[in-house]
Chains A and B, each alone.
Chain A
């Protein structure tokens, strides 16, 4: 392990070769890459579905498909994007790669579980996608009963797939919690952890505590279909609305599984690219935990019109507002971090700024929905669709892209074309707003979601929205193009291109197999950049006093 001299050219990418050395790897970095490839493939598939949806909605009547096909397409768009892409997105792909590195550790606590988690993902994804080919699914990703128990499509199959995906998610979360508890290096107290780790930690808690409830919910749904158990069947004395409670008890916290790590990524990006210590570290850290706790108490706000009692609605409305406060705290802290910084508008920072803009809209429109009187009108309209795309896409996906660009040099050892990166980010930003802002207007004017046909009066808004989605598609193809190009032709990445100080930047790009060449890492203040100076010749940062940059270990 301590043969540092010979490992200079050997890194985790080339230490062993062959497909099996990847498919059976226990190295968290390789598993992270496996996840990255897998979830990006899912994203492509889900994105294609989105394109089909937007194309169909170019006209109020039938455009390119039948009503049943449309119902299947939007179901798969939702199911793929949520269960296959966005839930594992930042934690399992970026998190797997970065988390042990940030801790100065050699790996996660349970490497075998980590690999199992990926294989479970593959199995679940395979089953879920197979359900498309076998008999499709037309329930919407929410699987509401009694529709889901009576429709003739392969609901049972996709539910089985999602059940397995849930296990994958639980194992990742469990692994991360134990790793953060047990593998922190000397000197890294809880409050010296990079904020991404706080984000991943709170995410992992939700994954471990909420996902089992999804498991039992889907199990009940499957039993309902296979055996006619009757729990959700009004004709047999069951209660179809109970399913919604069960489902949202998981699926609302799941929204925070998606957004919390994104907020962690943004905290890293804003501080590094403002060249300034993060502002209000403890408030940001505790707000992540607060969001995780509140996330379990607000599921009922998906059901304000379901007929639950006024008292229940009142409680859920009040609790829902409470989530907005920690979110607001984060936004103000990020702004304060930028204040009087030395801001570098590199691609990751452009994504961080986009996040700030889009997430603010997503959060503020949440106020309309938490308020009972206005939610009644907006529930199940395109306003909801726009709101959660602003939070999930404008928030999580944008942060994911920011993180991907930020850690790309570390993962691949290559730099991408910075200019194209900035242009693609701007195109994406414009396309996104054109696509989804129009949907706020459609929704508040009364267009319900999941509509195959719509009223003539919504035609121009829908066409504008579709146009926006094509603009986004262009941006995504650009991003894919220059990232792939960088793998072959990219400039070699320096160890620390951005001048960040969390531990992953204290090793080579890409890192060696055991991360730090056997060096014993010590906790540092991740937001103290004084130990690094810019070196023109390598277009990256080097430690002020030479060495490997880990000397500032206070």
Chain B
């Protein structure tokens, strides 16, 4: 049975806290325990005294007054000074650890994070994008995060760390995981309908298995059929923010039944939506803009290779 005042350790949660799986977690937990004991002491003091007085001095209804002293300056000073000293200590230890939590070490492995309604996207140095956070154990990892829409907050309980993800700026969060395994990632800042489903996993690999994993994962074309890869890109690269799959109006034309149709362009001419047109629209979106839409699509030149584009074309073909 987990004791009320037991300590969390690596891999084993305590009564109060989840498993202790980062270097920072151990330090945070020792502060946690210090405050917990302090609180238990003062709580017991107040409750024991309060209950004891209430029972011991309890009197029948209709009492006159009880004359005793109504102030004692020494006592007042004592119970002002003792809490003051204690909170100064608390402040200091909390601040010290916080500074280390908020300062990413140099040469940390960097992963870009994007928060959007309602998913996390993790972009690795080689450009590969994943919906979960993968990292090697015993390694400093820094997340450079921003949001596409509203404020989100990256929260990894097992690492005792959390940082808001704000549109229009970058924020950083770092950790050094001390054990391998899967840990929960939550969005902690309320962001709308599916706020509570904006989940991900932090998957911590043994050090020598991380790079092989990344190489394997990045090789999408070896693992998935093109249509599935196209769909993945559609979700991860922001296509779905503007192009619907169900004829719903958006900032760009819907993909539903798009392939093979004739589109009227802003200059009055028409074009057949075929492989070449889609390819051109991805690499040079402003070249031929469909009538009724603003020329706002960013180029994906340099972000997709030929294989990727083929996959996207196959996906668009499949949306009927």
Evaluate whether A353 and B54 lie within 8 angstroms (CB atoms) in the complex, with A321-B90, A445-B18, A455-B184 already known.
yes
Which one of B28, B59, B197 contacts A344 once the chains associate, using CB atoms below 8 Å? B59
Which of A90-98, A138-146, A172-180, A475-483 lies on the face that meets chain B?
A138-146
B39-63: which residues lie under 8 A (CB-CB) from chain A? 39, 42-43, 46-47, 49-50, 53-54, 57-63
Q: How far is the CA of A102 from the CA of B61 in the complex (A)?
A: 24
Evaluate whether A374 and B79 lie within 8 angstroms (CB atoms) in the complex, with A71-B193, A307-B166, A361-B43 already known.
no
Interface of B is mostly: mixed
Does B167 sit at the interface, judged by CB under 8 A?
Answer: yes
Q: How far is the CA of A441 from the CA of B168 in the complex (A)?
A: 35
Q: How far is the CA of A536 from the CA of B62 in the complex (A)?
A: 8
Q: How far is the CB of A328 from chain B (nearest CB, A)?
A: 5
Does B17 sit at the interface, judged by CB under 8 A?
Answer: yes
Does B128 sit at the interface, judged by CB under 8 A?
Answer: no
B79-136: which residues lie under 8 A (CB-CB) from chain A? 79-80, 83-84, 87-88, 90-91, 93-99, 101-103
Contact with B along A184-225 (1 / 0, CB 8 A): 000000000000000000000000000000000000000000
Task: Write the chain A residue with the least CB distance to B39.
Answer: A364
Evaluate whether A530 and B67 lie within 8 angstroms (CB atoms) in the complex, with A380-B162, A446-B18 already known.
yes
Which one of A275, A281, A360, A441 contacts B59 once the chains associate, using CB atoms below 8 Å? A275
Q: How far is the CB of B35 from chain A (nearest CB, A)?
A: 5
Chain A residues near B261: list those with CB within 8 A. none
Q: How far is the CB of B84 from chain A (nearest CB, A)?
A: 6
Q: How far is the CA of A227 from the CA of B50 in the complex (A)?
A: 56
Q: How far is the CB of A149 from chain B (nearest CB, A)?
A: 9
Contact with B along A518-544 (1 / 0, CB 8 A): 000000000111101110100000000
Is there an interface contact between A275 and B65, defined as CB atoms closer than 8 Å? Answer: yes
Task: Write the chain A residue with the least CB distance to B42.
Answer: A364
Does B270 sit at the interface, judged by CB under 8 A?
Answer: no
Q: How far is the CA of A489 from the CA of B258 in the complex (A)?
A: 77
Is there an interface contact between A533 and B31, defined as CB atoms closer than 8 Å? Answer: no
Is there an interface contact between A335 and B90, defined as CB atoms closer than 8 Å? Answer: no
Contact with A along B155-174 (1 / 0, CB 8 A): 10110111110111101000
Which one of A144, A324, A445 contacts B190 once the chains associate, using CB atoms below 8 Å? A144
Q: List 29 A-B contacts (CB under 8 A).
A: A67-B196, A150-B150, A274-B57, A277-B67, A277-B68, A279-B70, A282-B71, A306-B164, A313-B102, A328-B80, A331-B46, A335-B46, A341-B53, A342-B66, A344-B63, A345-B58, A346-B61, A360-B46, A364-B42, A367-B35, A368-B39, A373-B93, A376-B162, A377-B161, A441-B15, A445-B13, A445-B16, A446-B186, A530-B67
> Residues of A at under 8 Å CB distance from B?
67-68, 71, 138-140, 144, 146-147, 150-151, 234-235, 239-241, 274-283, 305-307, 310, 313-314, 317-318, 321-322, 324-325, 328-329, 331-333, 335-336, 338-346, 353, 356-357, 360-361, 364-365, 367-368, 370-377, 379-381, 441, 444-446, 448-455, 499, 527-530, 532-534, 536
> Residues of B at under 8 Å CB distance from A?
13, 15-18, 27-28, 31-32, 35, 38-39, 42-43, 46-47, 49-50, 53-54, 57-72, 75-76, 79-80, 83-84, 87-88, 90-91, 93-99, 101-103, 149-151, 153, 155, 157-158, 160-164, 166-169, 171, 184, 186-197
Q: A71-B195, A374-B28 are in contact. List 12 more A-B contacts (CB 8 A).
A: A71-B192, A150-B150, A234-B169, A275-B63, A279-B70, A313-B102, A329-B80, A331-B46, A344-B63, A373-B95, A445-B157, A446-B158
